[in-house]
Amino acid sequence: MIRKLKDGKYRLYSRKKDEKTGKRRNLGTFETREAAEKHEREVQYFKRH
């Protein structure tokens, strides 16, 4: 899940909420949405291989 921050950057969050905190895990902050989407695809690939 990608959210735009106030400073114009994009942050990638995990899809599921963390059971302990009830929040989503920060998986990285990126300058562009394209970079965040690319990293999200890499994360999903890694989870299945």
Q: Global pTM?
A: 0.85
- Distance, in Å, from the CA atom of 36 to the CA atom of 28, rounded to the nearest integer, reads 8
Q: What is the pLDDT of residue 36?
A: 98
DSSP tag of 11 = E
> In which band, very low, low, confident or very high, does the pLDDT at 41 lie, cut at 50, 70 and 90?
very high
- Distance, in Å, from the CA atom of 39 to the CA atom of 2, rounded to the nearest integer, reads 11
Mean pLDDT of 20-42: 97
User: End-to-end CA distance of the chain, in Å?
Assistant: 20
Q: What is the pLDDT of residue 37?
A: 98
> In which band, very low, low, confident or very high, does the pLDDT at 13 lie, cut at 50, 70 and 90?
very high
